[in-house]
Structures are given as C-alpha cells and as structure tokens.
Amino acid sequence: MDLQTIKNRFGIIGNAASLNYALNVAVQVANTDLSVLINGESGVGKEVFSQIIHSLSARKHNPFIAVNCGAIPEGTIDSELFGHEKGSFTGAVDSRKGYFETVSGGTIFLDEIGELPLGTQARLLRVLETGEYIRVGSSKVQKTDVRVIAATNKDLLESTRSGRFREDLYYRLNTVPIKIPPLRERKEDILLLFRKFSADFADKYKTSSVQLSEEAKNILTNYTWPGNVRELKNIAEQISVLSTDKNISAEQLKHFLPDSNYSRLPVLAGGSGAVSQTEFANEREILYKLFFDMKKDVTELKKMFFDILQNPSMAVSNMHFTNGHSGATDMGAMQNAGNFIQPASSSPVILNNNGPIHHHEDVEESLSIIDKEKELIIKALKKHRGKRRDASQDLGISERTLYRKLKEYDIEDL
C-alpha cells in the first residue's frame, strides 16, 4: 500500500518530508510485533499513527483500544490495565478484567505513557518482557498476547534521568521510535490543511468556503501553532461559523488567532510580557525561568533596601515607632536598644553615630528544582485553599500529576 492511499484512508493531509518519513516508518514496522514509541506534541495526531500500525498488522481483525494514561486516577490505573479480584480494594464488588486481558491478541495504545506511576511502569515492563501480569488482589500469574504502542509529548529520556520514568521500560518501549513533526515544521502543509477543513465545515454548515487573502495566508503559515493540527482545525471551524464575510483579510484573521505570546503562566516581573509556551520544551525549563526571575526580583529588593539604609534620612521619614500612650515617634528608644536592625532577608546592618556599617555576606540560595517545585506546589495549594484542580491549573500541570507530586514530596493536604 503506497503512502497516498494510506493518507486518503486515514485522512492525513500533507507532503512534508518529515511527515512522509514518519509514515514510512509506521508502515514498515506495522507487520511486526515490535513495541513502538510515538513522540510528538499535543495535537499532531499520534493516535492516528497507532491506528495505521494496527490496521496494517496481522492483528487488524483483533481488538484495538486506546488508553489515555493521564486521564486515569493513579489509584485505579492498575485495575484498569490489569484487572482486579473481588474485594481487593474498597468498591471492588466484583472481579474485573483489565485491558491487557480483554484485548489479548490485539493492540493497546497507551497515550501519555509518561504519566504512568512507577509501580505501574514495573507491571508494564513485565508484560512487555514476558507477556505475564497479575490482577490486583490476586496471586495468579496470567498470560496475554498484546502489541503495545505508546505515545508521549514529553522527553522520556530526560524523565529517566530525573527518576520519573524507568530507564529499562524506556528502552523496552523505544524499540522503534516514530517522531511526528509539529505543524510549525510543516509550513507547506498548513494551507492544504486549512483548505480541507474549511471545505468540510462549509459542507457541514451549508455555507460558502472560506477564502484567505495573500497576507492572511502569510500570517496563517507563520503562526507557531502550539496546538498543532487540532488548533488549526478549531480555527478553521470558528472562521467558517462566525465570519459573515468569507473573504478573510489579515486583520479579520487576527481576531481568530490567539496572541502568539499567550501563556497559561502569569506575567513575570521584570519581563517584557507573558511567556510563550512554545519557548519551553518541557516543565523543567519553565521552572528554571520562574526561579531565576524570582531570584532577580529578590536581588533588586535587597539593593533597594541597602540604598535606603545608606541614606538614614530616608529611613527616618518612613519608619514610625509608636509607643502605647501617645503614638509619638521614639527614635531614641530604637538607638538605645542596641542600635541593631536585622533585615528579614539580608545580612545584619549595624547603625552607630557615624552612620551605617554593613556586614554583608553573600549566601548562596538553593536552586534545587525539587525544593522550588515543592515550594510552588505548597503555595498554589494555600492560594486555592487545598483545591487540587484549581492549584493544578494554576501550576500548569494535570491534576493527576499534582496528585503524584504530593505523594512524591510527602505534602499533606492544606
């Protein structure tokens, strides 16, 4: 089967060399039982590639199931994948088959594989190596014959270095890697996709197809598309439904495209605006950006504080020590009390009659990612009064990831 036939069958549009290469790898590996790891950003169509591999394999007449590992709570994911026995945990009123049992002979697609807990990763590794698994609450070893295709939008190799993903499982899954290019690296395909989506929505909503001006085409082609094909399809649908004029100019198009600097993160002090999500390859880089900007702000506050101390008249005009009787300022009491001020976040400064004497010592702040991440999580939970969903949205991570980090850092509910 040639590539164009496969594209037509699965609705894949585009002729970029990187896309064609990924499709060729999928076709070549399809008729084997090798594990495949599909890597690509959110919205590039990773599940479509898993369906291509299954439909071209000897298992095509057997079951296929797609499982989003990030959408299943950590406490139930072992039961979902491997099944459980009656009474094995609260609520287990009956025995239940897991996906590896019901799909035996077929293919299982594990999306967001990087979200799997470490315990579940060990179980999955055993399935991949021996085809064996044990139901939750059972001691009986069972066999399964399942082809595993995994997908992730994270750098799993980096996750192995930080201890969040098992290295042996990574190399077992990564037997055949497939990298799906993001839409911004397929500029020649953007207009083809937009025309196809616009024509489909025009037919669906019984309206005229959208036409773009040359300037609008340039804007569409050069937009970064953080949501990839999924985002492009949504934009095409919005324009088809909401635009009364089907000849779209550059100015009209801009109303439908989000700001290219859009970010779920707050604006950072001292920066030039909101931080683009596409600036960061992963969560670690976002944290580094936040921590170094925070340290910069603290340094500036220290400098401002010492500038005030060097000019005592400024300090006197802004400091008011009130006694319990008349509310009058008592600077003499301050001087007689040892003439010592201990700033909250700096070295001691001793005042005497000749002016301030600074004894300043640079103290190296902790730049540990783990310490800072834990600190941010605690702040987010306090801010949202313990509501995990709101805290996870504020942090820019999934609620399940937040739950895992709470256990990992032994943080109690606030």
Pairing relation of β-strands 132-134 and 141-143?
A: antiparallel
**Start-to-end Cα distance in the chain:** 58
Letter string b/e over residues 141-171, b meaning 16 or more CB atoms within 10 A of that residue's CB: ebebebbbbbbbbbbbeebbeeebbbeebbe
Look up tokens 């919005």; give the residue.
238
Task: Find, among 232, 241, 144, the residue nearest to 195 by Cα.
Answer: 232
pLDDT digits (tens, 9 = 90+) for 121-161: 999 999 999 999 999 999 999 999 999 999 999 999 999 99
Residue 58 three-state SS: coil
- Give the tens place of pLDDT for each residue, 177-186: 999 999 999 9
Which of the listed CATH numbers 3.40.190.10, 3.80.30.20, 3.40.50.300, 3.40.630.30 matches domain 3-181?
A: 3.40.50.300
pLDDT at res. 340: 38
Where do the domains of the chain lie? 3-181, 184-254
CA dist 8 and 178 (Å) reads: 20
Give the pLDDT confidence score for residue 375 in this predicted structure. 83
b/e burial code for range 351-365 (CB count within 10 A of at least 16 → b): beeeebeeeeeeeee
Q: Look-up: residue for tokens 């020590």?
A: 321
- Token pair of 302 as six digits: 């220290």
Say what the pTM is: 0.62
* 214-256 per-position pLDDT tens digit: 999 999 999 999 999 999 999 999 999 998 888 999 999 999 9
Q: What is the CATH number of domain 184-254?
A: 1.10.8.60
Q: How far is CA 205 from CA 139, 212, 247, in A?
A: 56, 19, 17
Please give the pLDDT value at position 290: 65
Confidence of residue 394 (pLDDT cuts 50, 70, 90): confident
Of residues 279 and 292, more confidence is placed in 292
**3-class SS of residue 384:** coil
